[in-house]
Amino acid sequence: MTIPTASATPSAPARYPSPPPAIRLLRLKFRVLAALSTELAFGAAWRLFTSPRRLPPKDWEPAALAEARRFGVATARGNVAAYEWNPAGRRTVLLVHGWEHRASFWGQLARRLVAAGFRVVALDAPAHGASDGTRVTLPAYARAVQAVADELGEVYGVVAHSLGGAATAGVPVRFNQRQDGVLPRLVLLAVPGSTTAVAQRFAQLLHLPAAVVARMARYIREQHGRDAESFSLIHTGRAFPAGRALLFHDQDDASIPFAEAQEIAANWPGLEFRATSGLGHNRIMRDPAVLEQVVAFLEEQR
């Protein structure tokens, strides 16, 4: 999705008391398209929903990758760019970023993990960073993560943010298939509990008619043979084969409601849930206290 996020709950009013001009223009566009044809409106909405912006790099991003070795993983839909720190590390941790982010956003965590002795790998999702493509869906992201995981071999831990967590544990990705199929450690940061709720927030922000939303849901069933809600962590999490799993979510997350994290925790036996405050959706992946806990969790032997 390439536009500002909606409010914290699907049914609440949008965050903007007076929507910015870009949002008003999009709402007008979809009102006209829907009046002409549900199919036209659906096509435009789906393109928007699956087309991330390639945002200009931030000043600190080059330094984040300076010590990494870049490599590519070939997939049926193009090359996936990946980065490796400390190849001699004793155990491998894979970092999976969120929507419109890229591997370089993990710089602070990667440095801490390397200092702790881990081999660290991060990827750019399809249509993100240096990876191929202009559009990406949740299953397509999961296929890219799967390709990188298969290339790496044994993976000890995964740290995933937002959409990356939904792709990893919701679709899901299968790790360590040559061993016992269990991922020893999984850390999730600010992940959505319900894929349907994500689509609802998108639809609400753009004032999409119910017929267009229904067409999107039908398209997902046609393409993947399953309903969108079947990818949701509130349903899939408890079946994900992780030795131990840890979830962080901020009470002030304006992109994904805190209540969704609570619902994930309620439906995932054994999941450790730690709430934060004042970090929002993105700062949680750079906060020193959170990163310290992540590294400690990955280092614990029990």
The crossing angle, in degrees rounded to 10, of helices 210-224 and 195-206 is 150
Say if residues 139 and 224 touch (Cβ distance below 8 Å): yes
Average pLDDT of every residue of the chain: 94
Q: What is the largest CA-CA distance in the chain?
A: 60
Could you state, in order of their start, the residue ranges of all structural domains in the chain?
21-51+196-224, 69-194+227-299
User: Which pLDDT score is estimated for 1?
Assistant: 40
Q: How far apart are CA 217 and CA 211, in angstroms?
A: 10
User: Which pLDDT score is estimated for 2?
Assistant: 35
The radius of gyration of the chain from alpha carbons, rounded to an integer in Å, stands at 19
User: Which pLDDT score is estimated for 232?
Assistant: 98
- pTM of the complete model: 0.93
Residue closest to 176 by CA, chosen among 245, 240, 98? 240
Express each pLDDT in 146-204 by its tens digit.
999 999 999 999 999 999 999 999 999 999 999 999 999 999 999 999 999 999 999 99
Q: How far apart are CA 164 and CA 159, in angstroms?
A: 9
User: Which pLDDT score is estimated for 4?
Assistant: 34
- The answer, yes or no, to whether residue 54 has pLDDT greater than 60, is yes
Segment 22-47 mean pLDDT: 97
Residue with tokens 């996936």: 80
User: Which pLDDT score is estimated for 79?
Assistant: 98
Class of domain 69-194+227-299: alpha beta
Question: For residue 17, what pLDDT band results from cuts at 50, 70 and 90?
Answer: low
Segment 86-115 mean pLDDT: 98
